[in-house]
Structures are given as structure tokens and as C-alpha cells.
Structure 1
Amino acid sequence: MMRLVKHGLMFGNLYEVTSTSMVSRYNRALEHVTGKRTALEEFHIDISGFSPEIGDELDDPLYLNPNGCNRQFILLSVEQKTAPLLNARFSTSRAILRRFIDENEEQLFALSVRDPVVGELVNSVYSVKNPRDLFNFSTIEVDADTVGGHVEAGDELSAKIERFMTEPDGWWDDVLIAEMVELSKHTGDIIRTPLNLRSQSFEQRNFYTSLFGGIYVFRDAKETACITIERLNSKDDLPVQSVLSLDDRQAVASFLNVNELVEPIFDARDTDAQGILKQKLDFIVIDAAASNGEDLSSVSRRDLRALKRKYHKALPEVYHALEDIVRRIAIGTDLPRLTPDDAAYFYLLRSRNHADKHLVNMLLSQMTPHDFRQLFICHKEAFYDQYRTWSDEKKAYASKFLADEYMVDKVGTREELFGPEPGMDEDGQDYGLGKNMGPWGAIPVDEGADD
């Protein structure tokens, strides 16, 4: 995996903690939240304050997320907001944290200067024992304060100030005045620098969770469904109309089409469908060549053509189906009418431009395993899992391709593949509040979200 790290494809854009004072403040917060401390003198943290180095040190990659839900967080700086969220159990978690920081940036800056901010993404349940528990996640709320309780003290001081200003005898209440003075020593001037943090409960409807092997939950749809990566052993009835797995190609395709969630890429406006499909063909050839030990360290277009000729007969069915479509597009003849049972079917689809665009493209990336670029863009954890199984030749090619072809123009590549998304980036989710809307307003573009 170090090859990915060196190319900036894994653990990229993390916030660096190197100074003695910052390490000390992190330890203060870590002990407050988990009862543990780190002996490391420098490390990196994600948007939630999770450090992969500390996870290794503690032998606990979930030290800020012990039950798989109610993610805890540590904020040393508002600059963490551009970092990714590692080991995310729910596809919505990073966007929630980002919106919380954006909405409270001034207050969080003032608070984090004096004391680290700690908090939790609070669901209505505290553990998930079976898939049905996922449907008890009716609300999520961000609960946060400093380690020293400055926000709570600020709220208490605000209440006393209100009493002082409104009660007839407030000006002569020596006890009340003494309590206000004592609290102000802890909070500072809350009139000039308010310490209240805005939070809001909201409903989580459509999301992906890595729990139970991976489940896509679509509750806000004309026909509701759960789509699982692995078939569930649970006999519990889930409160959706359909429970499918990725192997149920006909049923998955029907769900996507009935709910008008996808479109063929060659029907999309201003899209070079032929060019996109040619690249998918290249990825399939690379897979076959790497499996046969070919040196792929500096593959040119000419080399790729030679590899196609060499392995053409041995290439999988999906390659020949896609090749036929590319040929038909080039000469302008009618395209074949494919069914979900055809190997190439899902490679021809992308999400329509709706609130669940990222979630649907994420699902499609797992239906099209040969397209490692889409898998990396849309579902990094699945990409990393697949990457571990590849030959060294394919690892070298894929990491170099992504570094050279994707990382240099992430926004342009995403627009080319998935179409324009005004106001929506990889964090773009539907939180039950309308298209491109988060719990505290419109979702901003964040180009660093996928690093």
C-alpha cells in the first residue's frame, strides 16, 4: 500500500500534528474521549481527528468509532475540514462533519485556540447488532464542546446574564453576580466571542454503510430497497420493498431504472462516450496483461494496442461486448439492446443528476469491477480492498495512472465521467432536505474531499 501513499492516493491531505503543544492538546482530548494516550511525537489526523498512526499504535483502527456508529471526533484546528474521513462506516459522516465546521468556523476557531474541541455524531441508537438496527437511525445530531466544557459554561453564563438583565432584583443579587464573574474567568467575553455551537438534528434516508459486509440503503425512493454486497444471513424482515445483493443483476437494474436513478453514458449530453468506453477497455486489457506478468511500467498507446492483439482471444466477455459497442458508435450504427445479464450492461451506465448521484455512482462502481478508476473515485475503501489482491504489475500501473491522469485534474475527470454537478462534489448527498442541501444549508464544493 506504500505505493499508493507515495502517490498521494491513500492518506492524502491529512492534517499534520508535529508540535509538542499540539501533541499535548491531542493527548488531552484523546484521554478525555477514550481514556487513552499516544506516545507518538508526530502524526497525521483526518477531519474527525482519527490518526492512522495512532490506530496502529493502539492496535485499534476504530478508537474514535468503537461501536461502528456515533462517530467521535477531536478538532485541533478548523483546517482539518479539508481532510478526508478514514474508516468511515457511513457515507454521510464526512459531509456532516464538514458542514458542522463550516457553519461554526468562527466559534470553533476561537474555542480550539484555547482547548481542543471534542464531540460525537449522535444517532438514535448506540450499537448495531443486525441490519434492522440501521433503520433506527432516524436522526443524527452533532454534539460538541471543548475538553474543558467551555460551551456548556458559556450556555450557563448566557442564562445567568439573561437573569441579570431581566429579573427586577438582578442588579442587587450578589450571588448571581459572583457566579457570573467566576464563569467569565473560564469562558472569556461571550458577548464579543459567542461560544454557542449551532447543531441540528436531521433525518438520514439514503446512505451506504460498510457494516454487515456493505449495504446500500434507499428509503427515500419510489420503490425502496437495500442492496447488499454479500447476501445477508439475517432472517429479520427489513422495512423496505426489496432486499437485493449485487448478484441480483436483473433486480438491481430494475430498481435503478424504476426509480430513474441512472442513464446510459452515450445518451448523456456533452459526453465523449466513445472515449470513456475505450478507457474501460484499456483497464480490462491491463488486467489481463498484468495477470500474465507483463511489464507495465511504461505502457504507451502503441504498447496497449500490441497487448490487445496478444491477449484478444483470452479477454473476458465484457471486453468483447464493450468493444462491439465502441465500434458501433464509431461507425454510427444502432447500438445493441443489452439486458442486465450481459456482462457490459452496468459499464454503460452512470447516475442521473439527482441528490443521490454520488451514492448511485458508488453502487455502480461495485457492479463494474474492471473499472478501477471509477472504483477509486467513488468507493475508496472497496478500491483498497481490491488493490490488495492485484499482482504487483497491476498495482504499479493503476497507481501511476491515477496519479498522472486523475490527481492532476480531479474535478475535470469527475465532470467528464459523471457530468456536471453544480454545488455538489463527492460529499454531495441527500439528507432529506432537498437537492444539494446539507443539514445547515447548501453543500459547498470541496475539491480535497476524496484525497
Structure 2
Amino acid sequence: MNRLLAAELIYGRLLTIREPHLIERYNKALAGFGLRGTQLESFDIDMTGFSPQIADELGDKDYLDPDRVNRRFIIMTPDQENLPVVHTSFSNTAGLMHEFFDANVRAINAVTIKDALYGEIEDSVARVETLEDLLSINEVRFRVLSAEDLLGKAAELRQLADRLRSSDNAWRDDAMLNRMVELVKLTGDIRQNVLVPDKLVFRHDAYWANHFGGVFIFVDEKNTTVICDPEAPGFRRSRPWQVSYIGLDDPSRIFDFLARTGRIELPRASWVEASGLYRHRADMALTALAERSEPDTDMSKIDGIWLQTWAQRNAGLVAEEGSYPFLMDMQRAIARTGNIRMEEISARQRFMLIRAAPQHPDQWLTNRLIAQFNPADFVSRFIFDKQGFYQAYEGYRETYREFVVSRLTATYLQDKKRFRKQLYDIGDETNA
């Protein structure tokens, strides 16, 4: 993973914590979770407060994600809202964190001047053992504490202030008044500074979970659809009257579901030609084929001209594998007729020709699902399915790893927003 780290393709854009008082607050939060404190003099954190260096130090990459449910968080600064989430079991963790930051911005700004917030995103289950456990999660509640107990002190001050107003003799209680003065020195005027977050419950809608080999849960008005390994415990048995189940090995039904619910853009010249998506996927398929068939290939030489030359020299192999000529045929068909008759295309090949509907709220989740059906397209996999990308990367040969990193660095990382907009007509990730 060193090459990915150097290129900031893993654990990139994190926030460095090196100030002693912030490290002390972080350690108090760790102690609140029953974990030992860090001895590091600096470390990096993501939006949730997860640190890859501390994960290595503790020997537990799930130290903020025990049992892969009820995710923990540590908020040191409001600036964390602009960071990615680099380790999570649910694709919507970032979206929930964004909602929490947005709904409680005044309290977070006020508290983190003197303290750190920490706690758990509590689900309705403590452990995921079947699909029913995932399906039972309809909303989450943020349980929030503070490292220096600033929230507790603010709550105590509010109670004493209420007593002072409601009791005729409270003003004679010198001990109480002195305690209020002590608390005000720590909390400031709680009438002006909102220290306690006031919105803690949020909806838990469509998402991907990394349980049972990966589970996609799509929520519509009257029905929930689960797409996963059909061997997952509870498949077709949990709430069959209100939940539809589709196996990841059934591309035909998956495509029909996505099309019927308006989650995908079917092939049209208006977006296919402008995006260059078919050309991109064709090049990705050709590159993967060249690497598999000739592992000693000098990957540093690969560009458009090299790929065309290689394809001509290996025409039989390219035709047998089929992806490249298929995509080129579809591109010509689009240019000629403006659309493609999808009923004439095999179920698995249809996923080469579609992208998520840009305006649908599940666009990131849908693109993640589509990326799984295009494993050669490591660029799309990196953008939408990083867990799948990192798993695949571990199986690449060293020369191919070097090529993958250089390709991502030269394309996607140069201008992420422009790249996503052109190929997928999609903006920033907010809820995936």
C-alpha cells in the first residue's frame, strides 16, 4: 500500500493532529471508549476522527467501528466536516456525519474551542448477524459526550440557572452561586453559546454495508430492495411481504430493478457521446486484457496508440474476450441511431452501457453497484467502490499496481470534479 499512500490514493486529504492539547483530548475520548491512549506525537484523522496511524498503533483498524455497527466518532474541530471518511462499514456514514455537522454547526463550533466531542452513531442493533438486522435500521441517534465534560458542565449550569429562577431562596445559596461562577468560566454564557447539539436523530436510507460480502439496500416509497449474495443469512426470509431480494448473481433482475425505478440512464447519444464513457471503459477493458495475457508488458508505455497497436496485433484474443469490440460497436450504434435496444443486449453486458441517473439521490450507490459489474474499470471502482478497489489492488501484479497508480494520478486526481462530471455527470459525494 506504500505506493497508494505516496500518491494519496488511500488515506488522502486527512487532517494532521499534532498540538499537545488536542492529542490529550483525543486520548480522553479513546479512554471514554475503553481504549488506551496514543503515544504518537502526531497523527492524521478523517471526518469521523479515525486515524490510520492510531489503528496501526492499537493493532485494530476497527477501533472506531467495533462489530462494524454503531460507528464511533471523535470530533476535534469543525474542519473535519470537509474531510473524507476513509474507513467505514456503511456507505452512508459520510452522509450522516454531514447531516450532524450541518444540523449542529453552532454547538460544534462552540464546544471544540475548549473540548472534543465523541460518541457513537447508535443503530437499533448491537450486532449484525442476519439481513433482518440491517433492515431493522431505519434511523440512527448520535450519542454525544465531550472529552473535558464541557457538555456535562453546560447541562449542570443550565440546571442551576433554572433552579435560581424557580426557587425564591436559591440566591442565598453561596455554594451554588460559586459553583455557577466556576462553570461559567469554563462554558461561557450558555444563553449565547449553544453547547449542546440539539438534533441527534437522522434517517438511515439507502446504503451499502460490507456485511455478508457486501449488501446494497435501496429504499422506495412502498418497498425496500436488497441486493446481495443469495447465501446471506435471511435472504428472502426477512420481511418477504415488504422486501424484494435480488442476488448479485442475477444481473438481469438487477438491471430491470434499476431501470424500473429510474436509477439509471439508458444509452442515449445526448450523454454517451459527450461523456466519452464507452471509450473509457473500452480502454480499461483492453488494458486489463493486455496485462492478463502478457504480464511482462512494460505498462509505462501504455497510451492510446499503444493500445490500438496491441489490439491489432492480438485481434483474435480481443475478439474472443469481447468487451472492446462490443463497446466500439455500441459507440457506433449510438452515433448512427441515437440509442441502443437494450433487450437485444445480454444482461451482464448492459452494465457496460449505463451509468446512474445523475439527479437521483441514490446516484453514488447505484454507480457503486454498476462498478462491480465492470471490474476492469479500476478508475470507476476507485471513485465509487474504494473497498472493492483496494481488495482488487492487493491481487494486482507489481507492474500493474504501478500503472494503476500512475493512471489515477494522471487522470482522476488532476481534477476530480471535472472528471466525475464528464464521465458520470455527478458532483460531490454527500450521502454514499
User: Is TM more than 0.5 here?
Assistant: yes
In the alignment, does 2:300 pair up with 1:289?
A: no
Q: Is the 8 A contact 2:348 2:373 kept in 1?
A: no
SS of the residue corresponding to residue 155 of structure 2 reads helix
1:427 to 1:229, Cα distance in 2 relative to 1, 3 A: farther
Q: Is the 8 A contact 1:223 1:255 kept in 2?
A: no
| d(CA) in 2 for partners of 1:426, 1:391 | 30
Look up the match of 1:434. Answer: none
Q: Does 1:311 align with 2:314?
A: yes
Pick closer, same or farther for the CA change 1:339–1:30 going to 2, 3 Å: farther
**Alpha-carbon distance change, 246 to 221 in structure 1, aligned in 2, over 3 angstroms:** farther
Name the residue aligned to 2:137: 137
Say which of 378, 393, 402 aligns to 1:372.
Answer: 378
Out of 358, 367, 381, the residue aligned to residue 361 of structure 1 is 367
Shift of 1:89: 0.8
Are 2:292 and 1:300 equivalent residues in the alignment? Answer: no
Shift of 1:358: 1.2
Alpha-carbon distance change, 78 to 181 in structure 1, aligned in 2, over 3 angstroms: same
Matched residue, 1:350: 355
Percent identical pairs in the alignment equals: 28
Residue in structure 2 matched with residue 12 of structure 1 by the alignment: 12
- Report Cα offsets for 1:25-52 as digits up to 9, x if no partner: 3222212223312222222111111111
TM-score normalized by the length of structure 2: 0.90
Aligned length: 425
Q: Report deviation, 1:313.
A: 2.0
RMSD of Structure 2 on Structure 1 (CA): 2.4
Change (3 A) 1:127 1:277: same
Q: 1:272 to 1:8 in 2, by over 3 A?
A: farther
Structure 2 Cα separation of the partners of residues 189 and 126 of structure 1 = 38
CA shift in 2, pair 1:61/1:136, >3 Å: same
Question: After the TM superposition, which residues 124-203 of structure 1 pair with which residues of structure 2 at under 5 Å, given as runs?
Answer: 124-172=124-172, 174=174, 176-203=176-203
In the alignment, the residues of structure 2 paired with residue 418 and residue 312 of structure 1 have an alpha-carbon distance, to the nearest angstrom, of 30
TM-score (norm 1): 0.87
Q: Structure 1 CA distance, aligned partners of 2:283 and 2:2?
A: 25
Instruction: Give the drift of 1:167.
Output: 4.3
Q: Which has the higher contact order (CA 8 A, sep 6+)?
A: 1
Give the 5 Å matches for 1:30-429: 30-172=30-172, 174=174, 176-221=176-221, 223-229=223-229, 231-234=231-234, 237-239=237-239, 240-266=242-268, 269-272=270-273, 275-291=276-292, 292-293=294-295, 294-315=297-318, 316-332=321-337, 335-338=340-343, 341-352=346-357, 353-420=359-426, 425-428=428-431
Q: Which runs of 5+ in 1 are unaligned?
A: 430-451
The one-letter code matched in structure 2 to 1:417 is L
Q: Which aligned runs of 4 or more in structure 1 are off by greater than 6 angstroms?
A: none
Q: Is the 8 A contact 1:249 1:340 kept in 2?
A: no
Per-residue CA shift, 1:2-59, capped at 9, x if unaligned?
A: 2222222111001112344433332222122233122222221111111112212221
Once the two structures are superposed, residues 136-182 of structure 1 have per-residue CA deviations (whole angstroms, 9 ceiling, x without a partner) of 21221222231122112212322332332344544445565344334
Q: Which amino acid aligns with 2:306?
A: D
* Matched residue SS, 1:314: helix
Q: Secondary structure at the match of 1:34?
A: coil
Aligned equivalents of 1:336, 1:304: Cα separation in 2: 29
- The aligned amino acid for 2:314 is Y
User: CA–CA distance in 2 between the matches of 1:333 and 1:416?
Assistant: 19
Counterpart secondary structure, 1:414: helix
Give the drift of 1:205: 2.6
Distance of 1:283 and 1:222 partners within structure 2: 39
Aligned pair in 2 of structure 1 residues 340, 179: CA closer, same or farther (>3 Å)?
A: farther
Distance 1:154 1:192 in 2: 12
